[in-house]
Amino acid sequence: MEATTVTRFAPSPTGLLHLGHAFSALTAYCAAREAGGRFLLRIEDIDPVRCKPVFAQALFDDLRWLGLTWEEPVRFQSAHGADYAAALEILREMGLLYPCFCTRKEIGALAAPQENDDAGPVYPGTCRDLSAQAREALAQTRPHVWRLDMARACARAGALFWHDAAKGEVRADPARFGDVVLARKDVPTSYHLSVTVDDALQGVTCVTRGEDLFAATDIHRLLQALLCLPTPRYRHHALLRDATGRRFAKRDKALTLRSLREAGKTPRDVRAMVGFGDLSL
């Protein structure tokens, strides 16, 4: 029997939701509804500097106003550090993590330019083979992050594939990202780790999200293999653009759901603006 479809919308509360978010949330919502499944909302608030409770509250209000409903309780990532720490510990015990003491500046000077989107430069591996003594000495004076030893991780996982609704079977190539950071001192997890752990813990079967995260799915697929987590199906949707072809961003104040609502638009108007005009809620 086919498992119940479970989708989710997983915003970070770093600003007010805009039309792009409405499109993404409605895409996930409708995918669940069409399949007679479940829709979840998850608040990705691991970064205490950029995420604000006031934006989490605003996004609940805006999504409700838009006509969406979701299952309670909503998972706030900031309340689940223990789950991410447990996953990190598994990877550490497998010998796949190492502490990296390099500063951003040092990495920028050494690293090969990254071919991928906005993932930053590929780490040149400076700290990968430090001796235990060198690590201890550096730890006295410098903070560190935890990096995945990508070559070892890929060797351990073997060939990996995932399924995208538009592209079909995709062969994962996480190696091109190099030794990605999985935890920091100030944020003891990372987007890649927490999203992978949460999608599994919440039983998400279909990840719908913007195509800007298409490449990152290769890393998530690798983490699933290493942590023995199930692999959901993926549906990466196009990003909405404004009239000049620019992606909507939180800086586009006039296109926040809040300002559209204040300007007199109805929820149905806003749904229609992002292509969901026929939806009856």
Give contact residues for ligand GLU (rule: CB under 6 A).
10-12, 44, 195, 209, 213
Q: Which is nearer to ligand GLU, 183 or 195 (CB)?
A: 195
Q: How far apart are CA 178 and CA 197, in angstroms?
A: 20
Token digits for 139? 């730890």
- Based on DSSP, count helices (H) and strands (E) in the chain, helices before strands: 10, 10
Q: How far apart are CA 8 and CA 25, in angstroms?
A: 8
Q: How far is the CB of 11 from ligand GLU (least distance, A)?
A: 5
Q: How far is the CB of 134 from ligand GLU (least distance, A)?
A: 36
Q: How far is the CB of 13 from ligand GLU (least distance, A)?
A: 9
Q: Which is nearer to ligand GLU, 11 or 267 (CB)?
A: 11
Distances (CA, A) of 229 to 25, 27, 157, 205, 220: 25, 25, 12, 12, 10
Q: How far is the CB of 191 from ligand GLU (least distance, A)?
A: 7
Distances (CA, A) of 249 to 210, 240, 255, 256, 271: 13, 10, 9, 9, 18
What distance lies between CA 59 and its chain's CA centroid?
17
Q: Which is nearer to ligand GLU, 11 or 125 (CB)?
A: 11
Q: How far is the CB of 57 from ligand GLU (least distance, A)?
A: 16
Decide: helix, strand or coil at residue 39: strand
Q: Which is nearer to ligand GLU, 147 or 209 (CB)?
A: 209
Q: Which is nearer to ligand GLU, 116 or 266 (CB)?
A: 116
